[in-house]
Amino acid sequence: MKTVTLNNGITMPQLGFGVWQVDESEAGPAVEKALEVGYRSIDTAAIYKNERGVGQALKNTHIPREELFITTKVWNGDQGFDETLRAFDASLEKLGLDYLDLYLIHWPTPEYDTYIETYKALEKLYHDGRVRAIGVCNFDSVHVERILEECEVTPALNQVECHPYLAQHELKEFCKTSDIYVEAWSPLMQGGDVLEHHVIQSLARKHSKTPAQVILRWHLQRDTIAIPKSVTPARIEENFNVFDFELTTQDMQKIDSIDRNERQGPHPSEMNAR
Ligand SMILES: NC(=O)c1ccc[n+]([C@@H]2O[C@H](COP(=O)([O-])OP(=O)(O)OC[C@H]3O[C@@H](n4cnc5c(N)ncnc54)[C@H](OP(=O)(O)O)[C@@H]3O)[C@@H](O)[C@H]2O)c1
């Protein structure tokens, strides 16, 4: 498994397993399958309502805790300093863990303007040794800039929607100069059209790989962390089987060229649901 080193020196698998839209009852078996094929990083969130299912798989595994990398997120309605500390305890209890590897703010929800105090709670958890790294999701550069100005700990990463139709070139460049990794959510565009795009299809034929594997390889080679989701055992395995081939510079450029700035999810500045 290829790992990346975050800005506080800890390592994280570059390919992880996401569990959004996975029922509590399905989450355990899906995570067990993922661990069996080699994933060590699992991405969940309080709002996914499956932390207990994920926790069950973590309890059943014989993989040592220190080899796992577990991420969850504070939901928008739990933002605020004290609220976040309580949300963290609740997530940890559901996951059956005594520390987390990564805790993230799920959305900036700019209308409520509470992400600074929320981030300060993450900093407390980090300083108290309850989480090994902290970061954000869906933060535009303007939101990240405020964190950098008003808080102490630079976010380890920014988890944002990213796939070949939303390559996030600018945000990636901004994050790189601030020493913040970009982690791609919906790295396969939720299994959407991009898998059918002729560039992706032809590269899949060229490398004798599937379209999903080509896209995941693109993420890895552009130094992005990716967390594909699947509840289909064969796809869970397929998505992990991306370390035995390499895209050329020209292949990478071809994929870069199909960017359309097209989102599946809401724009970070407009998402204020709680
Ligand atoms: N921070 C945030 O705001 C945020 C938002 C969204 C997602 N996320 C995280 O990012 C993770 C991944 O994003 P996502 O779940 O939205 O989308 P995704 O990983 O891009 O795509 C998942 C969809 O693609 C299908 N799929 C998976 N592998 C495939 C393959 N090899 N070939 C064809 N189809 C395939 C899956 O179907 P099956 O499951 O039926 O196989 C599922 O419908 C989430 O699970 C979550 O952990 C975070």
- Ligand 1 centroid – CA 147 distance (Å): 28
188 CA closest ligand 1 atom index: 20
What value does the mean pLDDT take over residues 16-30? 97
Take atom 32 of ligand 1 and give the residue whose Cα is closest: 212
Percent of the chain surpassing pLDDT 70: 100
| Domain presence at residue 258 | no
Atom of ligand 1 nearest to the CA of 213: 31
How many whole angstroms from 31 Cα to the centroid of ligand 1? 14
> Which residue has the least CA distance to atom 24 on ligand 1?
191
pLDDT band at 183 (very low <50, low <70, confident <90, very high): very high
In tens, the pLDDT along 47-59 reads: 999 999 999 999 9
CA of 187 to the centre of ligand 1 (A): 7
Mean pLDDT of 184-190: 98
195 has a pLDDT exceeding 90:
yes
Q: Per-residue confidence at 2, pLDDT binned at 50, 70, 90?
A: very high
Q: Is residue 183 part of a domain?
A: yes
Strand order in the sheet with 131-137: 17-18, 41-43, 69-74, 100-105, 131-137, 157-161, 181-185, 225-226
User: Of the residues 39, 48, 126, 165, which is catalytic?
Assistant: 48
What is the CA(124)–ligand 1 centre distance, in A?
31
pLDDT at 23: 95
Instruction: Kindly report the protein residue whose alpha carbon is nearest to atom 39 of ligand 1.
Output: 230
Q: Do residues 216 and 224 lie in contact, with contact meaning Cβ atoms separated by under 8 Å? A: no
* Inside any domain, residue 217: no
Distance of CA 263 to the CA centre of its chain: 16
Q: Are strands 100-105 and 131-137 parallel, antiparallel or unpaired?
A: parallel
Residue 7 lies in a domain: no
In a domain, 265, yes or no: no
Dump the DSSP string for 84-143: HHHHHHHHHHHHT-S-EEEEEES---TTT--HHHHHHHHHHHHHTTSEEEEEEES--HHH
- Provide the residue range defining the domain that includes 127: 12-192+224-231
Counting the structural domains of the chain, the total is 1
CA dihedral 233, 237, 239, 242 (to 10 degrees): -170
| Residue at 110 is within a domain | yes
Cβ atoms of 216 and 226 closer than 8 Å: yes
Assigned domain for 205 exists: no
Going by CA atoms, what residue is nearest to atom 34 of ligand 1?
191
Residue 187 near ligand 1, beta carbon < 6 Å: yes
CATH number at residue 145: 3.20.20.100
Res 1: pLDDT: 80
pLDDT of residue 87: 98
- Supply the pLDDT for residue 122: 98
Q: What is the pLDDT of residue 28?
A: 97
| Position 265 pLDDT exceeds 90 | yes
Mean pLDDT taken over the chain: 97
Residue 38 alpha carbon to ligand 1 centre in Å: 18
Pairing of strands 17-18, 3-5: unpaired
Residue 263, ligand 1, Cβ within 6 A? no
The tens digit of pLDDT for each residue in 142-180 reads 999 999 999 999 999 999 999 999 999 999 999 999 999
For the question of residue 48 being annotated catalytic, the response is yes
Q: Does a structural domain hold residue 219? A: no
Q: What is the pLDDT of residues 215-256, one digit of tens each?
A: 999 999 999 999 999 999 999 999 999 999 999 999 999 999
